[in-house]
Amino acid sequence: MNSSIQEIRHVLEQYDRIMITAHVSPDGDAIGSTLALYGWLHSLHKEVVVVFDDDVDEKFNFLQDYEAIQKPEDIQTDDSWLTVVLDATDMNRLGHAADLAKGKILNIDHHISNQHFADWEYIRPDFAAAGEILTYLFLTWNIPIEAAWADALYLAVATDCGFFKFSNTTGHTLRMAGALVDAGAHPNIISEHLDARSLAKMQALGEVLQHIELFGSNAVAGLAFTPELMQYTGEHTGSYMDYVRNIKGVDVAFTVKFVSDTETRVSLRSKTVDVNAIAAVFGGGGHVRAAGCTIASSLEDAKKMVVKEILKAI
Ligand code: AMP
Ligand code: MN
Ligand code: MN
């Protein structure tokens, strides 16, 4: 059950040592919300660390405090530390960062599939991003939002709602984004950084698009990131999903990504179908229109299983 907004503030102010983390394969929301919270807690002169058990895409390196992001092996904690888990449903989503959570845990999240695991939680599935929740908390607490945190929070909100194009965009989402721009966020600079690609990566897009496949009378589109295709794209493949989901007539879009011969990472997006339910079949989750899971099978087998479940659902 959610703690009150004042209790969340009290918990954060009470601790002197705080570790902030979010889900593996961190996206804009995971990174932006952790760095904004880091900014505020750091300004209160606390000992604060930001940990991700994954490489962070360097396209985010324009954010203030990007350099503060550390790997689990670089950090020592004990049970006097508070762990803040942002944008994640359960401890299994944290990779090795979970091993550093030795004391109490505060979870701030917006996933419908949240597992309600923490000592204190503030879960808002009606919000588009963890960054939208944090913005709302800062505003409610009357904490002046510094421009650098506003940039991080704007990036968090904008990336999770597809720059205000997805169905999770509400009036509240836009009001929070407006407040962030008023606080000094730079929408143009953020978009420039996120959209910029090397010419080689831009040209690789042509190769990637050739690999999109259609299923189920063209209502389903999928893309498999084989090791060969990832020679063109690199490790960070999240940005290609938009091309799959934007194909005319497609309701469900998915990507499957090679991790190893026995592990495949799956992303699902939809216009009407509940993809959280499809991801849940494989032990994953997320939101109704955007979800993910990891399947302990080869890329080809995982793709077949995912297509089968999607075709059942549409
Ligand atoms: P992705 O396709 O990785 O961008 O994930 C889509 C949404 O589902 C994001 O909000 C993720 O945080 C969430 N998600 C992805 N994988 C999982 C999982 N295994 N368990 C719970 N939520 C997930
Ligand atoms: Mn996320
Ligand atoms: Mn999110």
pLDDT tens readout for residues 257-300: 999 999 999 999 999 999 999 999 999 999 999 999 999 999 99
Average pLDDT of the residues in 230-252: 95
Probe ligand 1: pick from 24, 27, 282, max atoms within 8 Å of CB? 27
Average pLDDT of the residues in 85-103: 98
Tell me what pLDDT residue 29 has.
98
Average pLDDT of the residues in 118-140: 98
Pairing of strands 252-260, 220-225: parallel
For ligand 1, say whether the CB of 131 is within 6 Å of any of its atoms: no
For ligand 1, say whether the CB of 23 is within 6 Å of any of its atoms: yes
Probe ligand 1: pick from 24, 34, 93, max atoms within 8 Å of CB? 93
**Per-residue pLDDT band at 24 (split at 50, 70, 90):** very high
Residue nearest (by alpha carbon) to ligand 1 atom 16: 292
> DSSP per residue over 132-188, as a string?
HHHHHHHHHTTPPPPHHHHHHHHHHHHHHTTTTTSTT--HHHHHHHHHHHHTT--HH
CB 114 within 8 A of CB 123: yes
The CA 286 to ligand 1 mean position distance, Å, reads 5
The CA 87 to ligand 2 mean position distance, Å, reads 5
**Per-residue pLDDT band at 33 (split at 50, 70, 90):** very high
Pairing of strands 290-295, 263-270: antiparallel
Probe ligand 1: pick from 34, 241, 267, max atoms within 8 Å of CB? 267
**Ligand nearest, relative to CA of residue 128:** 3
The CA 196 to ligand 2 mean position distance, Å, reads 21
